Amino acid sequence: MKVLSVIIDTDPGVDDFVALMLAKQNPQLKIEGITTVAGNLGSDKVTQNALNIVEFLELEAPVIRGARSPLGHSLESAEAFHGEGGLGGVKLPQSNQKCIEQYAWDFIYEKAVSLKGELEIIALGPLTNLAKALKKYPDLFQHVKTITFMGGSTGRGNRTPFAEFNIWADPLAAQIVFESGIPLKMVGLDVTTKGVLNETNMNKLFEYEHPYKEVVKQLLHFLQQLSKQMGKDTVMLHDALAVASVICPPLLTYTACYGEVEIHDEKYRGQTRIDLEHVTRKQPNVEVAIAVDTPRFIHLLEEMLKY
């Protein structure tokens, strides 16, 4: 089994918590660092949440603070959807650990260079840190193996009818990443809304006597209540699916397309315009996930809680 060196760029966040848990529990991933970005909540809250999660999970990875605001406009967070403290009401002990004294974009570049092209980045929030790294270090594209990001959609949105939240939160940063030349994998709403848990799946997860069992139960019950408020009876784990796709590449089916992000028209702000039919004849710049093996995803979550 090849061990993959990854940086997880994140804005914890309820499903980010599950995603970090999944990453920690899988020996295939070596987490080189966790970089934080303002998104679901403001920078101070997501950074403290990341520090608390790292201590709770006993993760041996540094936390590095990143962007406090998007490129070109002020932060509009999704705090209302993540409960008290941003973790669905889960109260973790306050960590006394500190971030390392470095900006996320500098850490990303230095780690990418030191790993000689073997670094994979998993981005679970707005793409601001990656855009800042690309702007400051134009040669970064030569050193990153791939970026797998949770965001976007070929059709529907979840922040507006047209845009998914992470891309909507910083569309300019997303467009910079789309233009970067780095191999990209988009894990968007096309698959995260299909890789879902139902009541039976969740109850099976709760059968495992694992140290994380009660926290997982709280997180999933919070998401379940949120789904019910929107008239749904299943739970979506957007960010966990992105992590799972790196652990198990066959989990998702991709198609290579040309994609771009709407950055000018406020009505369509953050819309990911994906040329599925290749009508523009432009060179593909992103692999877009279009199908998910949901039973396999659920199996990975079960494995997370077995040991």
Residues with active-site annotation: 238
**CA-CA distance, 43 to 147, in Å (whole number)?**
22
227 to 209, 222, 256: CA distances (angstroms): 26, 9, 31
Strand extents, DSSP E, 46-183: 63-65, 119-123, 144-150
At 80 the three-state DSSP class reads: helix
Helices (H) and strands (E) in the chain, counts: 11, 11
- Of 139, 207, 137, 126, nearest to 174 by C-alpha is 126
Calpha distance 95→231 (Å, rounded): 37
Contact 4, 120 (CB under 8 A): yes
